[in-house]
Amino acid sequence: MKERDAKKRLDELKERIRYHNYRYYVLDDPEIEDYEYDKLMRELLDIESKFPHLVTLDSPSQRVGGEPSKEFSTVNHTSPMLSLNNAFNEGELRDFDRRVRSGVGQQVEYVLEYKIDGLSVALIYENGVLTRGATRGDGYIGEDITANLRTIKSLPLKLKGDYTLEVRGEVFIPKSAFVKLNEERKDEGLPLFANARNAAAGSLRQLDPRVTAKRPLDIFIFNLQNAEGFTFDTHLESLEFLYDIGFKVSPYRKLCTSIDEVIEQCNIWSAKRHQLDYDIDGLVIKVNSIEQRNSLSTTSRSPRWAVAYKFPPELKTTVIKDIIVQVGRTGALTPTAILEPVKIAGSVVGRATLHNQDYIDSKDIRIGDRVVIRKAGDIIPEVVEVLKEKRTGHEKPYKIPDKCPVCGSDSVRPEGEAVVRCTGIACPAQLKRRLLHFVSRDAMDIEGMGPAIINQLIDKGLVKDPADLYRLTKEQLMHLDRMGEKSSENLLTAIENSKTVALDKLIYALGIRYVGVRTAQLLAQRFKSIWDLARADYHETVSIDEIGDKIADSIQAFFKQHQNMETINRLHEYGVAMEDRDTGHKAVKKALEGKTFVLTGTLEGYTRNQAKELIEGLGGRVAGSVSKNTDYVVAGDKPGSKLKKAQELGITILDRQGFIKLITSLDE
């Protein structure tokens, strides 16, 4: 394809994809199947890969997220992003109305919109193309998050027209998408988000836009801040215009001619808000006339022509019938109250998290108590208050058990933490997360053993602890989805090869709490076998440089568990090396002992992790920041501020060639 033809076809594809994005994400009325849409995207990406200089900012390909940023730059808002004053009851709404009517001296119309519980952003379009997006910040200066905002599929990268304007919007995650997001994180063994707003805010502030692109973010545009060459008489007209040129605006835009109508709508939506697929914590009431707005003006922090009505929290009374413990994928024992079912915030609630023992003790929560509950952020049920005056004397205090209710291993509360954790390596409640850790690259490095395979092995009852991986057969693997004869043989080969990994990788693979890659290396250098480590007492362990009380206590607790030692014995029976077999490299390993390195920039031929492993494998230490105790700074392409600090302190700086020369000289 010639460049001229490629450009013409790209323009056609971009226009068609924009149109279908608008139908799907804004109108919720798609015209084509996902398969047809995917074909268009594949063709666009294929052409752009062949003609990369034809890629433009408004291309749909730019939604996938670019390279990570070291930090967000700050931007000055063209006009302040002010906060709204709040009204919490009918009286405060009427006070607002009196102030407005007194200020304009005539009849007033109000426009009501949902107060979306999300994160406000300012967006600038030049000649119809999105050029900048920023957070609110302090209202005057925000952070430039343009790359992250481009990933939101309902936000147009190019408008229907070459308009230059600024709009304000609210980024959020729909309730249904939030539930699915947390389910996926649970399956992956990741911590769950507390609520949709925090998830949206955290997603927008990711330094890596590729992470943001994986989050189900959405946006409603709520205000036209300014536009070149045209104006509107009313706010409602401006919203209709924004909708027409491709923006997703609030679906609820109610015109009210009196404060009585406003109050009526506030009461209606206070009861109906839970029917929506996104969180709203109130309604925003705005003067419709732009001329009246201008006459009312603003204070230093908020406009006089708008107010936010905040819905009152919904509280219900119920009874705690029982308290149970749930074991999470990290071994955390979380107490949960079993409630007499009660409807609150749009759904029936039968459980409420009690967080930890300190939470239970501080509120003096007992089984049988009558309590007041609410949904924190309208999502997570929690106990607000214990009605102690309702007690009969039959209520029972509660303590988290000292044995895991799932596997029977000891449950311990590490010093300085609020969470009690199970110490069992084969605890079924933690098994998927532990297996994923066990087979990971820094651990046993079993290539091909991903989440989909592990989930099937556990669901079919083929694997109940890490040792079971070493007795799998080709026939068993071939019965799994998407596993043929060749892929099964490859996986068995990877499992067999993992039997001879270095001792530090095995120690790390066991998943001992607080024992990361670096700590595992230190333990392997001190103790020459798993058996030596298991027999070591607290004082032997804590005497190792960089290992403190918390790590030593965790190691002791781990090896005291009969279940853990049983798994280790079975690993040994199946041929996994329990001793450090890398005897020929002992002298080399100490060649960099006592030396501290700092890495900055991109080192050609090495990932950051590979360079770090190489240094630590030779006995050196890799720090995150430069100090007077740093021995070497390894500076690759595009180094950061660490290089400048190293130069100021007179620290030895190694480029790629210097680093390779140092490492190879030690290995001779």
394, burial (CB in 10 Å: exposed 0-12, middle 13-18, buried 19+): exposed
Task: Give the pLDDT of residue 523.
Answer: 93
The DSSP 8-state label assigned to residue 468 in this structure reads G
pLDDT at 426 over 80: no
Q: What is the mean pLDDT of residues 42-47?
A: 85
Task: Give the pLDDT of residue 306.
Answer: 96
Phi and psi dihedrals of 169, rounded to 5? -145, 175
- Assigned domain for 274 exists: yes
Task: Give the pLDDT of residue 590.
Answer: 61
One domain, residues 237 and 169: yes
- Assigned domain for 422 exists: no
Phi and psi dihedrals of 173, rounded to 5? -120, 125
Q: How confident is the model at residue 328 (pLDDT cuts 50, 70, 90)?
A: confident
343 forms beta bridges with 348
For residue range 338-362, list pLDDT tens digits in order: 999 998 766 688 999 898 999 999 9
For residues 539 and 566, the answer to whether their CB atoms sit within 8 Å is no
Task: Give the pLDDT of residue 41.
Answer: 82
Q: What's the predicted TM-score (pTM) here?
A: 0.51
310, 339, 374 — which closes off a domain?
310
- Assigned domain for 63 exists: no
CA dist 198 and 19 (Å) reads 31
pLDDT at 589 over 70: no
Cβ atoms within 10 Å of 275's Cβ, excluding its own? 8
Query: What is residue 197's three-state secondary structure?
Result: helix
Domain count, the chain: 5
Three-state secondary structure readout of 335-403: EEEEEEEEEECCEEEEEEECCCHHHHHHHCCEECCEEEEEEECCCEEEEEEECHHHCCCCCEECCCCCE
Lowest mean pLDDT among 242-256, 284-298, 383-397, 439-453: 439-453
Averaged pLDDT of the chain: 87
Q: How confident is the model at residue 219 (pLDDT cuts 50, 70, 90)?
A: very high
One domain, residues 362 and 246: no
Q: What is the mean pLDDT of residues 451-472?
A: 91
Query: What is residue 584's three-state secondary structure?
Result: helix
CA dist 334 and 351 (Å) reads 12
Better-scored residue on pLDDT, 628 or 269: 269
One domain, residues 204 and 122: yes
**Contact partners, residue 401, CB within 8 Å, separation at least 6:** 325, 333, 411
Task: Give the pLDDT of residue 68.
Answer: 46
Cα 286–chain centre separation: 34
pLDDT at 228 over 70: yes
For residues 652 and 577, the answer to whether their CB atoms sit within 8 Å is no
CA dist 552 and 538 (Å) reads 6
Cβ atoms within 10 Å of 294's Cβ, excluding its own? 10
pLDDT at 388 over 60: yes
Task: Give the pLDDT of residue 64.
Answer: 56
Task: Give the pLDDT of residue 659.
Answer: 85
pLDDT at 69 over 60: no
Q: What is the mean pLDDT of residues 646-664?
A: 86
Task: Give the pLDDT of residue 114.
Answer: 95
Task: Give the pLDDT of residue 374.
Answer: 84
Name the residues annotated as catalytic: 115
Q: What is the mean pLDDT of residues 328-342?
A: 87
For residue range 122-162, list pLDDT tens digits in order: 999 999 999 999 998 878 888 899 999 999 999 999 999 99
One domain, residues 156 and 299: yes
Better-scored residue on pLDDT, 302 or 444: 444
What is the pairing mode between strands 370-376 and 366-367?
unpaired
CA dist 164 and 225 (Å) reads 11
Better-scored residue on pLDDT, 639 or 651: 651
514, 541, 573 — which closes off a domain?
573
CA dist 241 and 294 (Å) reads 20
For residue range 74-101, list pLDDT tens digits in order: 888 988 888 888 898 999 999 999 999 9
pLDDT at 668 over 50: no
Task: Give the pLDDT of residue 157.
Answer: 93
One domain, residues 302 and 382: no
55, 74, 99 — which closes off a domain?
55
Tokens of 614: 């190489």
Task: Give the pLDDT of residue 584.
Answer: 38
One domain, residues 556 and 606: no
One domain, residues 115 and 163: yes
One domain, residues 393 and 345: yes
218 forms beta bridges with 172
The whole domain housing 600 covers: 587-666
Task: Give the pLDDT of residue 587.
Answer: 41
Residue 445, domain CATH: 1.10.150.20
Q: What is the mean pLDDT of residues 153-177?
A: 94
Task: Give the pLDDT of residue 206.
Answer: 85
One domain, residues 298 and 379: no
CA dist 444 and 508 (Å) reads 9
One domain, residues 561 and 600: no
Task: Give the pLDDT of residue 34.
Answer: 62
Q: How confident is the model at residue 275 (pLDDT cuts 50, 70, 90)?
A: confident
Tokens of 260: 């009585």
Q: Phi-psi category of 253—alpha, beta or left, where left has phi over 0 and alpha has psi -120 to 50? A: beta
One domain, residues 92 and 49: no
**Contact partners, residue 493, CB within 8 Å, separation at least 6:** none
